[in-house]
Amino acid sequence: MKLSQFKFHLPESLLATEPSEQRDEARLMVLHKDTGKIEHKIFKDVIDYFDDKDVMILNNTKVFPARLYGNKEKTGATIEVFLLRELNKELRLWDVLVDPARKIRVGNKLYFGEDDLLVAEVVDNTTSRGRTIRFLFDGTDEVSLLKFQCCGETPHQYHRIRNG
């Protein structure tokens, strides 16, 4: 099987950006593997497709609000920071992608959220768009997660910021 077999067009209008208010009312697509027939149902109908020997595996992972929009110190230029991975929890160091990369240099401070709730400093260049940043705040891991949730958003698809 090749990765290219998984490529298909998904119209943006069909992509959920918010969960259903009633979770059991979420859309469900049923593919009958023997006939190829596709049915469109709602999730609470899923039980109709199980036999007594079937097993359901639940995925309880959470999506992290990894895309941050903010402003650069002094110029106020709009920037986008995409959190890739935490490098050092104690030092609050993260490997990130930035856009526009040409304007984000080592030593720059970046401000996110209302009243600059979250502040970071660029400490290293890693790739053409990659940077290492240090978040500048005190507090517990719970406080840092709350700040990310307030300032960040869940990435649905990649798009670039255009500065004038």
Average pLDDT, stretch 98-126? 91
Rounded distance between C-alpha atoms, residue 70 and residue 72, angstroms = 7
- Residue 45, domain member (yes or no): no
Confidence of residue 156 (pLDDT cuts 50, 70, 90): low
- Taking only the tens place, the pLDDT of each residue in 3-18 is 777 777 878 887 777 7
Concatenated DSSP letters of 117-152 = -EEEEEEEE-SSSEEEEEE---S-HHHHHHHHHHHE
Which of the residue ranges 102-106, 132-136, 147-151 would you say has the lowest mean pLDDT?
147-151
**Torsion sign, CA atoms 145, 150, 152, 154:** positive
Residue 41 token pair: 């149902």
pTM for the structure as a whole? 0.61
Looking at the domain assignment, is residue 76 inside a domain? yes
140 assigned to some structural domain: yes
**Is residue 96 in some structural domain?**
yes
The CATH number given to whatever domain includes residue 95 is 2.40.10.240
Domain extent at residue 117: 67-153
7 in any annotated domain: no
39 in a structural domain: no
pLDDT, tens digit (0-9, with 9 covering 90-100), for 58-109:
887 777 778 899 999 989 999 999 999 999 988 999 999 999 988 899 999 9
Q: How many domains is the chain partitioned into structurally? A: 1
Is residue 138 one of the residues assigned to a domain?
yes
Residue 37 falls inside a structural domain: no
